[in-house]
Structure 1
Amino acid sequence: MGRIAFIAGICLSAAALVQAVPFSPKLHKNTALVLIDIQNDFITGSLNNARAPVILPKVYQLLDDHEWPFIVASQDWHPIGHVSFASAHAGKQPLDTVNITFLDTPTKMEQQTVYADHCVPGTWGAGIEEGVQTRLYYLEGYRTPVNYIKKAQDHSVDSYSAFADNQYHRFTTLNSELTLHRVDTILVTGLITNACVRGTCIDGIKLGYEVILIEDATETLSDEIKASTIEELEGWGVQVMNLTQWESTNPTRLQRRALKEL
């Protein structure tokens, strides 16, 4: 009887421990938060954009007020001499274009826009914006898996999408990581709307995910470019809404209970 009582005591203690860890009413099951290239160079650095800082309070809100089973933070991670750098092409200036060959098909060409050098590993510009990075450090050290996707590391091909390079020559680990965490919906934010955000959203649709773009947590160079890109993404099947709209359609468990009681 003593042994049975001892085992029963262990079971009761374990049950009490489980009950002491409450179910989180804010956990968005099967939905990953995807932060695209919220890096210093795209905000105040070499490719600075005066409109970019506007998204930060919304991104902070998503990190502060919600719990996620998985968070993705992508970063451009360009080696010196990258194909997207104007400095790598004699006589070219930022925003010029060059023709480059496909890595797998030398007879096939694509047009590449070139920019000022940006997001070189080891530089301040490649780092994630301080407020976002501080929150990610806290979350990944506490309760949330965070996967940092370093993209466009190949000298010879650019990568807008966090899933793959522009030629689909190489894929990142993102799709397999989302599958591992049983994610079927991605909530996309970040910079810039018509480039890396666009590429990630389209590839997400191609791979079968439900893709939601939070339009006030993404920015680009002008209202016109943003509106045109959003129209295109909606044509692909991307759901576009602002953060207030998304939060209203994704109430927490406690909010749903309160609504039922009204």
Structure 2
Amino acid sequence: MKFRTAISTLLAFTASSVQGVPFSAKLHKKTALVLIDIQNDFITGSLNNSRAPSILPKVYQLLDDHEWPFIIASQDWHPKGHVSFASAHTGKQSGDTVNITFLDSPLKQETQGLYSDHCVPGTWGAEIEDGLKTRLQYLEGYRSPVNYIKKAQDHSVDSYSAFVDNEYHRFTTLNSELTIHGVETIIVTGLITNACVRGTSIDGIKLGYEVILIEDATDTISAEIKAETIQELKGWGVQVMNLTDWEAANPTGPKTTFRKEL
């Protein structure tokens, strides 16, 4: 009897403690923040993009001023000699294309874009950008669960989407993780708009999620390509909003300053 009483007291205390968490008023329920490939190689590294750094303050704001039940950070994670590397194809250069055969359908081919070597595990270029990495490390296991999705690890097939490779041959754990956490809406940010952000957003729609793209927290090599991609994503049913408008539509509790020094 004493044991039951002690357990009841503990459960009551735990429930009251959870309800009293000071940042709970800022929690976006059933919503996950998805950070696509915000890695050094796509910012100042081998596939650097002069427009990419502009998204960082917006991404930081989403982490500093909001609480999330789940955060996803995807990373390109290419082995040496990956099919997307121009260096893996004799006589080819970055910007060229090749035709490759599908892994599970030898009669079907797709066009593969070729790039400079990038996001090779163990290199600086594969690492998440420092300001973002610091924030995610702070959050891990304390305020929000953070899951890192390593994609495009197969030598023979590329993967733009954080959900699945380009041939829909092998899925990552992303969909199952979102399901486990009860996520219905994904807030998508990151690099680059017309490749991995596009692929993840479209697959999110296909899998039944409400997908919201924060347009000033994503970018690509030109304003024209970004605009074209955004129009395509709208056609798929992706909601496109700037961060100011999204915050106005999704108010949270009072701001805190505990991470402003990061």
Pair in the same fold by TM > 0.5: yes
Write the deviation string for residues 96-140 of structure 1: whole angstroms up to 9, x where unpaired.
Answer: 000000000011000000000000000000000000000000001
Return the letter of the residue paired with 2:52: A
Return the letter of the residue paired with 1:224: E
SS at match of 1:142: coil
The answer for the alignment partner of 1:82 in structure 2 is: 82
The answer for the alignment partner of 1:220 in structure 2 is: 220
The Cα of 1:32 is off from its aligned counterpart by 0.2
1:140 and 1:105 map into 2 onto residues whose CA distance is: 40
**Mapping of residues 54-73 of structure 1, within 5 Å:** 54-73=54-73
Kindly report the root-mean-square deviation, in angstroms, between the aligned alpha carbons of the 2 structures.
2.3
1:15 and 1:169 map into 2 onto residues whose CA distance is: 43
The Cα of 1:16 is off from its aligned counterpart by 6.2
**1:98–1:64: structure 2 CA closer, same or farther, 3 Å change rule?**
same
SS at match of 2:197: helix
The answer for the alignment partner of 1:50 in structure 2 is: 50
Structure 2: state its 5+ residue gaps: 256-262
The answer for the alignment partner of 2:202 in structure 1 is: 202
The answer (yes or no) to whether the contact 2:66–2:252 under 8 Å persists in 1 is no
Is 1:169 the equivalent of 2:169? yes
Return the letter of the residue paired with 2:49: N
**1:11–1:86: structure 2 CA closer, same or farther, 3 Å change rule?**
closer
The answer for the alignment partner of 1:239 in structure 2 is: 239
Return the letter of the residue paired with 1:144: S
1:8 and 1:178 map into 2 onto residues whose CA distance is: 31
Return the letter of the residue paired with 2:236: W
The answer for the alignment partner of 1:110 in structure 2 is: 110
The answer for the alignment partner of 2:157 in structure 1 is: 157
1:193 and 1:57 map into 2 onto residues whose CA distance is: 17
The answer (yes or no) to whether the contact 2:32–2:183 under 8 Å persists in 1 is yes
The Cα of 1:254 is off from its aligned counterpart by 6.9
1:68 and 1:96 map into 2 onto residues whose CA distance is: 40
**1:251–1:85: structure 2 CA closer, same or farther, 3 Å change rule?**
same
The answer for the alignment partner of 1:119 in structure 2 is: 119
Structure 1: state its 5+ residue gaps: 256-262
Write the deviation string for residues 55-91 of structure 1: whole angstroms up to 9, x where unpaired.
Answer: 0000000000000000000000000000000000000
**1:14–1:210: structure 2 CA closer, same or farther, 3 Å change rule?**
closer
Write the deviation string for residues 156-198 of structure 1: whole angstroms up to 9, x where unpaired.
Answer: 0000000000000000000000000000000000000000000
SS at match of 1:167: coil
- Rg (Cα) greater in structure: 1
The answer for the alignment partner of 2:184 in structure 1 is: 184
| Percentage identity across paired residues of the two chains | 78
Return the letter of the residue paired with 2:189: T
2:146 and 2:72 map into 1 onto residues whose CA distance is: 6
The Cα of 1:252 is off from its aligned counterpart by 1.9
Return the letter of the residue paired with 2:219: E
The Cα of 1:237 is off from its aligned counterpart by 0.2
The Cα of 1:142 is off from its aligned counterpart by 1.7
| Length, aligned pairs only | 254
2:176 and 2:190 map into 1 onto residues whose CA distance is: 21
SS at match of 1:106: strand
SS at match of 1:99: strand
**1:245–1:87: structure 2 CA closer, same or farther, 3 Å change rule?**
same
**1:7–1:156: structure 2 CA closer, same or farther, 3 Å change rule?**
closer
The answer (yes or no) to whether the contact 2:149–2:174 under 8 Å persists in 1 is yes
